[in-house]
Amino acid sequence: MTRRLLQGSEAVAEAAIASGCRFFSGYPMLPFTELLESMAKKLPAAGGVCISAESEIEAVNMALGAAATGARAATGSCGQGLALMQEAIAESALNELPLVVFNMARGQQDYFQATRGGGWGDYRTITLAPKDVPEAVAHTQLLFDLADRHRTPALLYGDYVIAHTSVGIEVAPLAFPPLPEKDWALDGTMSGTGRARQIWTWARGKPNTPGPGPNLAWQAIADKYAEIERTEARCEAEGTDDAEVVVVSFGTTAVFVDRVVEELRAEGVRIGSFRPVTLWPFPGAALAEATEGCRLVLVYELNAGQMVDDVRIHAADRSAVRSIGGVSQDASGMRQGDLLAADELRQRVRRALADGPAARSAR
């Protein structure tokens, strides 16, 4: 295979299909639209189905239904559409259905929406936040594996830059360990046959084969998420061994952090970078280790301060944590604004270094 010039959305679509995704539904919304278009172009040829739904609510519930039959199914939108999908994402968690959701977010980095969600119940969503298109291709394949392995909704946190950037890339299928049989999948067997299966949030089962009921089922799901939290956290740390200052960021912003940290290290500043690759589970233990002995932990995110909460929870010294990001929208409201720039970030880091640890941020 050779490199081809692929837009991020197109590359993610090919990665999803290479992962065995055979059902995709969505409602067009910039910058998610190109992923839906790519799936519509490519999925039928792979024997799959792509449906342009009438709303995000319809799209996510179609994908949920497809997942219940054991198909690898996915949907997506931007943050505004994900807001509408929250109920079905929570149902996917409580029904233990693997569902992959692509969030091609606009300019706002909504960490809370990705990691807390707005559904009910003790549920979580595994969330991978790639920093660029090649990583988005790898993460897409990993998400389908994690969703099946843990029978849970799993999110890709992409954005305008990842969805739209074209690079020369080869979409190579990744190998994963074998997965358990989907012996829970609905296969169309009707009631009255004695073999019909049921997927139900309350898990009460059928009259002749009672289920565990909500208390035991929901505790088991909570235990499963506790186990995922222990085993699936992923992160990337650079130069943190000797660092006095660590900059924490996720997704596209991390590419800018890496550049600025590299420049400042070359100037002799003892600075490092830390990037949660999984937003949930948050790599808290690794962050505690990476920030050990740091006088400053700077959080750069394009919002008014969301991930900074998790950084405060896990940093070795929470009083060292400072937010240096902010709301940053371009005029269209569709993509990141002026803060997504190495110059602006460098100035903010320098200002924080000059202020020193005694100065506290407003938050």
Partner 1 sequence: MLFTGVGGQGVQIAARTLATAAMDEGRHVMLVPRYGGGMRGGMTNAEVTVGDRPLRALPVATDCWSAYAMDPSYWSTVRPHLRPGAVVVVNASLVDVEVGVEGATVFSVEAGAIADGLGAPMAAGFVLLGAYASLTGLVGVETLVGAMRQLVPPYRTQHLEANERALRAGAAAVTPLAAPAWAAGDLERAGR
Q: Which of residues 232-261 bind partner 1 (CB under 8 A)?
A: 252, 255-256, 259
Tell whether residue 348 is a contact of partner 1 (CB under 8 A): no
Near partner 1 by CB under 8 A, which window of 186-194, 205-213, 234-242, 335-343?
335-343
Identify which of 127, 85, 93, 123 has the alpha carbon closest to the alpha carbon of residue 109.
127
Mark 306-337 as b/e (b = at least 16 C-beta within 10 Å). Answer: bbbbbbbebbbbeebbbbbbeebbeeeeebbb
The values of phi and psi at residue 327, to 5°, are -65, 130
Distance CA 53, CA 46 (A): 20
Contact set for partner 1, span 16-45 (CB under 8 A): 30
Please, are residues 82 and 101 in contact by the beta-carbon 8 Å criterion?
yes
Q: Which residues have a Cβ under 8 Å from the Cβ of 207 and sit 6 or more positions away?
A: none
The span from the CA of 190 to the CA of 312, in Å, is 52
Find the binder of partner 1 among 50, 126, 161, 221 (CB under 8 A).
Answer: 161
Q: Which of residues 150 and 335 has its CB atom nearest to partner 1 in the complex?
A: 335
Contact characters 111-140, partner 1, x per CB under 8 A: ---------------------x--------
| Binding of residue 335 to partner 1 (CB under 8 A) | yes
Residue 344 Cβ vs partner 1, minimum distance, rounded to whole Å: 10
Q: Is 342 an interacting residue with respect to partner 1 (CB under 8 A)?
A: yes
Nearest approach, Cβ of 106 to partner 1 (angstroms)? 10
Q: Which is nearer to partner 1, 124 or 335 (CB)?
A: 335
Alpha-carbon distance of 274 to 103, in angstroms, equals 22
CB atoms near residue 124 (< 10 Å): 22
DSSP per position, 304-337 = SSSHHHHHHHHSSSGGGEEE-----B-TTSSSB-
Total binding residues toward partner 1, as defined by CB under 8 A: 26
User: Taking contact as CB under 8 A, which single stretch among the options 174-182, 215-223, 227-235, 339-347 is the one that binds partner 1?
Assistant: 339-347
Structure tokens at 119: 């559904």
Q: Does 5 bind partner 1 (CB under 8 A)?
A: yes
Q: Does residue number 166 form part of the binding site for partner 1 (CB under 8 A)?
A: yes
Residue 334 in contact with partner 1, rule: CB under 8 A: yes
**Part in contact with partner 1 (CB under 8 A); list of ranges 90-98, 161-169, 212-220, 274-282:** 161-169
Separation of alpha carbons 255 and 246, rounded Å:
15
Q: Which residues sit at the interface with partner 1, rule CB under 8 A?
A: 3, 5, 7, 30, 132, 161, 164-168, 252, 255-256, 259, 330-336, 340-343
